[in-house]
């Protein structure tokens, strides 16, 4: 039972942590970020199971986290008001070719990152953009004028 309680605590912590970190950081992993994720995985495993190296302990930890993920997904589906808390909401970062600075600051994005994403989509200048939206996945979607 101790492993299940630890899994619940770790899941809640990771859910809060990913909301704090921000969607843009999670969508574009650099090599160092990948290394940190591997280290995080190892640290989470040690916190979940302590010195329990049994197959039962591993199944309990993994099963609890899987059930919690399904539960969070179901809550977001069933209760639309919970969705913004669990998944976030899309944020407009460019409107009619003008960058919305306060939204960039809120999401810790630079204008250069918006321009880079626009170039990847084949957009030469932000003046061509009617809307640019930072999606909940961390990707930026563009609607041309």
Q: State percent of the chain over pLDDT 70.
A: 88
- Predicted confidence band of residue 130 (pLDDT cuts 50, 70, 90): very high
Round the average pLDDT of the chain to a whole number and report it. Answer: 84
Question: Which pTM does this prediction carry?
Answer: 0.66
| C-alpha–C-alpha distance, residues 36 and 33, integer Å | 5
Secondary structure (DSSP) of 66-88? HHHHHHHHHHHHH-GGGHHHHH-
In a 10 Å sphere around its CB, with 0-12 CB exposed, 13-18 middle and 19+ buried, how is residue 15 labelled? middle
Domains and CATH numbers, the chain: 2-87 (no CATH), 91-144 (3.30.240.20)
| C-alpha–C-alpha distance, residues 131 and 143, integer Å | 5
The radius of gyration of the chain's CA atoms, rounded to the nearest angstrom, is: 19
């Amino acid at each position: 039972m101790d492993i299940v309680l630890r899994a619940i605590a770790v899941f809640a912590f990771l859910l809060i942590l990913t909301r704090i970190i921000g969607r843009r950081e999670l969508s574009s992993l650099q090599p160092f970020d990948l290394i940190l994720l591997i280290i995080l995985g190892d640290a989470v495993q040690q916190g979940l199971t302590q010195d329990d190296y049994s197959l039962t302990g591993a199944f309990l930890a993994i099963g609890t986290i899987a059930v919690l993920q399904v539960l969070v997904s179901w809550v977001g589906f069933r209760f639309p008001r919970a969705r913004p808390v669990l998944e976030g909401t899309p944020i407009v970062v460019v409107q009619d070719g003008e960058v919305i600075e306060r939204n960039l600051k809120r999401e810790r994005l630079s204008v250069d990152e918006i321009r880079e994403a626009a170039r990847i989509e084949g957009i030469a200048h932000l003046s061509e953009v009617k809307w640019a939206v930072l999606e909940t996945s961390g990707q930026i979607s563009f609607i041309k004028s």
